[in-house]
Amino acid sequence: MPTTPQRSQLFLASCLALLVTSLSFGIRAGILGRLGVQFELNAGQLGTIAATAFWGFPLAVVIGGFVVDIIGMKRLLIVAFVFHLAGILLTIFAGGYWSLFISTLCIGIANGTVEAACNPLVATIYSDNKTTKLNHFHLWFPGGIVIGTLLVYFLDKVGIGWQVQVGLMIIPTLIYGFLFSKLSFPVTERVASGVSTADMYKAVASPLFIVMIILMFGTAITELFTGQWIDVLLKNVSDNAILLLTLETGVMVVGRGFAGPVVHKFSPTGVLLISSILAAVGLYLLGHSSGNMLFVGAIVFGMGVCYFWPTMLGFVSENLPKTGAVGMNLMGGAGMFAVSVYTIFMGGHYNDLIAGKLPAGADMKLYNDAPAGSELANVLNEAKKAAGPEILNTTLIIPLVLIVAFFILLFYMRGKKNTITPTASAA
């Protein structure tokens, strides 16, 4: 597609919208433990609340994927703006489990709608450089998490409450809403290229696309579950658990910023294989280390997961272009749905692990209500200290499977390229 006069403005506004999405993850990850204490929520309930954002996301991104070609990307982003504003305000004035559940659902729907519109928008306005620009766009996801977790850390130090921390998200929300209202949008790339709806659905049903959907389950869980829960799982192992998330996501920002030369050198499939190896090593270190080695684990893990999400989308957009916006958004929806299911399951499993490490017949409520420094509180902290790394060790299985899968995919794509090239040359 030819460069439009507003291409850079559209990209800037898209990055701001994604910044709000990531701030919601970073700030919620930083305050999740305090929400549990204030509203007397157990790990299972916290897991369900955290998961709500992940299944609100696929609901919105899948529906958005099916309607974006019809109603246009601009209208979808207006919907995102309304849900972001509603979710932020409902969180600030939350009074318990159900209000937190509904507010998180609203934010999840907003986040999914942003991706439903902005992923095809970036692929459309940068049709000549999709994977690199999708990485540049998605650097604002870890970037926002870095900003969010640092805000939580420093505002906590000066005694500013979590309601104000959440309220800060209103500022970039209002800015991106204003910018999008003033800009003109192109039609999606599929519509512009004249690919029929029937051809689109045929491409979505192809074996390669189905394989990529399944692999998206694993890449999304590895990246997003670990990031959202790292403070809960490791806060009793390290005094700076939230800074581990900040460090990991900071590495992701840098990595995505340099995506261009990396992708061109190794190819999208090669990048995904290397990412799986690094993610597995980093997750192993996080689950088997203490002290400064935890920070080494966070750096390696950040290097591993930094290219997962945007490169998976870029791979589909480049190798299965007829899938269009529906293909990209089904990928995003599948990833977030997998994370939501896994988060709910692991929240309950984490609760069970903690209970299993307490004395037989222990009353969990009694331990949770125990004052800090008491014998019961210390026993509970030790149980959590042991349970958190066990969850990470279980999750480690996923990137190990991904290593094998991407190794096979790499050779499949090389074989496919070698098959196509001689034919093209003969023509």
CA trace torsion 372, 377, 383, 386 (10° rounding): 20
- pTM for the full model? 0.79
Per-residue pLDDT, 408: 96
**Closest of 130, 61, 128, 134 to residue 310, by C-alpha:** 134
Is 173 in contact with 84 (CB distance < 8 Å)?
Answer: yes
Residue pair 74/188 in contact by the 8 Å Cβ criterion: no
Residue 150, token pair as written in the block: 């640092």
Residue 292 CB partners (closer than 8 Å, separation 6+): none
- The CA radius of gyration of the chain, in Å to the nearest whole number, is 22
The residue count for the chain: 427
- 251, 295 Cβ separation under 8 angstroms: no
Which pLDDT value is given to residue 3? 47
CATH topology classification for 7-417: Growth Hormone; Chain: A; (1.20.1250)
Q: Which has the closest alpha carbon to 398: 331, 316, 314, 335?
A: 335
pLDDT (tens, 9 = 90+) of the chain, 427 residues, equals: 444 548 889 999 999 999 999 888 778 767 877 788 888 887 778 878 877 876 777 888 888 888 888 888 999 999 999 999 999 999 999 888 898 899 989 998 999 899 899 999 998 888 888 888 999 999 998 888 778 878 888 888 888 888 898 899 999 999 999 999 998 888 877 777 778 888 888 999 999 999 999 999 999 999 988 876 676 667 656 666 667 877 888 899 899 998 888 888 888 999 999 999 999 999 999 888 877 888 898 899 999 999 999 999 999 988 998 898 889 889 988 998 898 889 888 878 887 888 778 777 776 677 766 777 777 777 777 777 777 778 888 899 999 999 999 999 999 998 877 664 443 333 2
pLDDT score for 2: 43
Taking alpha carbons only, the member of 142, 145, 126, 146 closest to residue 134 is 126
Q: Which two tokens stand for residue 356?
A: 């299993």
* Amino acid type, 312: M
Instruction: State both tokens at 129.
Output: 């450089």
The pair of structure tokens assigned to 422 is 């001689």
